[in-house]
Each structure stands twice: as structure tokens, then as C-alpha cells.
């Protein structure tokens, strides 16, 4: 009979669910309940599911993991998987699950390093701009009303910057498309830097944002979804 054990722990603000045993039809409810509780209790947090002690993972388990990742993102957080090279990691790759959710080794999963390549980045696109990009195979809009050629790079955001960016620049737009980008798949360099003029005597936002110096290929966009303004006219953390 299949068995599964889950242990939840907090490591410097990152919630880790250690999983051991088999993730399958008979046990997956246990995993789902543990992770959903963390998502609900700590909305906006990064959750890591450590699969290194998992001996088998079936299609039902894969589907639940992807569903949990989507739920975490709806609540403004993120979900990552830990899986060292082996049978489970190979299964994540063969099924394409590693294109929908970040998979890393145990050593790097809770790293606080600020390298852009270690974090997903996001871009807010107007629906028409995104539709054109899907037919061409690459996205070349820098920001609202500005092209890559105009600006020299494409403006992006880290997750915690999304709400402010959306309300500041798209507050009068009823809907945008939220692009989640895996920087490791980009063929263009990504640089985290402050906006032009930041830190000058005139003040301004000195926080660093990811800038993509070249087009964003469609295969680097791991998810895209509509994000609509709420009833009060603002974009909120829970992306729908």
C-alpha cells in the first residue's frame, strides 16, 4: 500500500514541505491538504515542495502539483519544486512539468541570492501586443506605447513589484496579460537595474527592476493569464 509523509517547516520566510513516499492517487490528498493549508495561511509566500525523498510520482500527483502551483500564484505567492537528478526529476522533464513550475536542487531552493536567473520575472502586456507576439514567436514591446527599439530593453518586474507596476502604468486599462518568464530560457541578457534617473537629485524610484535587453521568445514565457482590475478599479495581489 502506498504511503506518504509531509512535514512543513519555515526557513527564513520560505515555507518548505518535505515529502517522502509515493505521490499517487492513494496519497495525493495528503500532499494537497498540507500545501493548501500553507498557501491559505501564508498568502504571498514562496512555497517549496521537496521531492527528494519521493520514490514515485504518477500522473495524478503531477496534476495536483501543477494545480497547487497555480493556486499559490493566484494568492500572490510562488511554488517551487526540489528534485535532484533521478527518476522523479526525469519524469518532471519528460512530462514538461518543469516548464510550468520551477525545479531546482535542494542547495539552491532556499537561496537568498538576488541573481536574476534564480527568480522568475514578469511582464504586463496589453492583450493585442501579446496576441501579435504569439504569431511572430517573440515579444518586442518594452512597455505601454514603447517598443524594444524605442527603449533599448523590455521592462519587467519581480513578483513583489507587480501590483505597484500595474496600478501605476495600467490603472486605466481594464485588463492586461500577465506573462511569467523563466529568465534561464531567454536568449537575451537580463539586468536588474534602477530606472533611468533614479538616485539623482530629483529623487525617483531607486529600486532595481529586471530589464531584458532583447526580444522575449515565446518559449521563455512559462505562463500567461489575463489579469483584470477589481471592483474598486485597482489591480490586487490575488491575480485571477
Q: Give tens-digit pLDDT for 66-89.
A: 999 999 888 777 899 999 888 899
Angle at 103 between CA 102 and CA 106, to 5 degrees: 130
Q: pLDDT (tens digit, 9 = 90+) per residue, 46-60?
A: 899 999 999 999 999
User: By percentage, how much of the chain surpasses pLDDT 90?
Assistant: 56
How far is Cα 5 from Cα 240, in angstroms, rounded to an integer? 31
* Digit-coded pLDDT (tens) for 141-190: 999 999 999 999 999 998 888 899 999 999 999 999 999 898 888 989 99
pLDDT confidence bin for 98, thresholds 50/70/90: confident
pLDDT at 42: 83
Q: Decide: 172 and 145 in contact? Cβ < 8 Å.
A: no
Q: Given this model, what pLDDT does residue 1 score? A: 66
State the DSSP string of 60-97: HHHHHHHHHHHHHHHTT-EEEEE--TTHHHHHHHHTTG
Does residue 234 contact residue 171 with C-beta atoms inside 8 Å?
A: yes
Query: Which SS3 state, helix, strand or coil, does residue 210 take?
Result: strand
**pLDDT given at position 159:** 82
pLDDT of residue 201: 52
Q: At 91, list the grid cell.
A: 519524469
- Chain CA centroid to CA 208, Å: 18
188 or 112: which carries more pLDDT confidence?
188
Q: Domains in the chain, start-ordered, CATH in brackets?
A: 4-109 (3.30.750.24), 116-228 (3.20.170.20)
| pTM of model > 0.85 | no
- Give the residue-averaged pLDDT of 204-223: 89
Pull the grid cell for residue 133. 507576439
What the block records as the C-alpha cell of 4 is 506518504
Q: Band of the pLDDT at 118, cuts 50, 70, 90?
A: low
Residue 11 has a pLDDT of 78
C-alpha dihedral (62, 66, 71, 72), degrees to nearest 10: 100
User: When comparing pLDDT for 217 and 11, which is higher?
Assistant: 217
Lowest mean pLDDT across 74-78, 108-112, 195-199:
108-112
Instruction: Calculate mean pLDDT across residues 18-34.
Output: 95
pLDDT of residue 113 exceeding 60: no
> In the prediction, which pLDDT does 105 show?
76
Q: In angstroms, rounded to a whole number, what is the distance separating the alpha carbons of residues 78 and 213? A: 25
Amino acid at each position: 500500500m502506498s504511503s506518504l509523509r509531509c512535514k512543513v517547516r519555515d526557513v527564513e520566510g520560505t515555507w518548505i514541505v518535505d515529502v517522502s513516499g509515493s505521490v499517487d492517487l492513494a496519497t495525493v490528498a495528503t500532499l494537497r491538504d498540507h500545501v493548501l493549508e500553507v498557501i491559505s495561511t501564508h498568502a504571498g509566500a514562496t512555497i517549496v515542495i521537496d521531492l527528494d525523498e519521493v520514490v514515485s510520482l504518477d500522473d495524478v500527483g503531477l496534476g495536483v502539483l501543477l494545480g497547487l502551483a497555480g493556486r499559490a500564484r493566484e494568492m500572490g505567492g510562488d511554488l517551487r519544486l526540489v528534485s535532484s537528478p533521478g527518476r522523479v526529476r526525469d519524469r518532471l522533464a519528460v512530462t514538461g512539468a518543469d516548464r510550468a513550475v520551477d525545479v531546482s536542487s535542494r542547495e539552491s531552493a532556499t537561496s537568498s541570492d538576488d541573481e536574476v536567473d534564480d527568480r522568475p520575472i514578469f511582464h504586463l502586456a496589453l492583450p493585442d501586443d501579446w496576441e501579435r507576439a504569439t504569431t511572430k514567436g517573440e515579444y518586442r514591446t518594452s512597455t505601454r506605447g514603447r517598443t524594444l527599439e524605442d527603449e533599448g530593453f523590455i521592462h519587467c518586474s519581480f513578483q513583489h513589484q507587480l501590483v505597484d507596476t500595474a496600478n501605476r502604468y495600467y490603472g486605466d486599462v481594464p485588463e492586461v496579460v500577465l506573462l511569467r518568464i523563466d529568465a534561464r530560457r531567454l536568449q537575451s541578457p537580463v539586468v536588474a537595474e534602477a530606472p533611468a534617473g533614479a538616485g539623482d537629485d530629483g529623487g525617483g524610484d531607486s529600486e532595481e527592476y529586471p530589464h531584458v535587453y532583447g526580444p522575449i521568445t515565446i518559449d521563455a514565457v512559462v505562463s500567461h493569464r489575463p489579469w483584470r482590475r477589481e471592483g474598486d478599479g485597482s489591480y490586487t495581489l490575488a491575480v485571477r
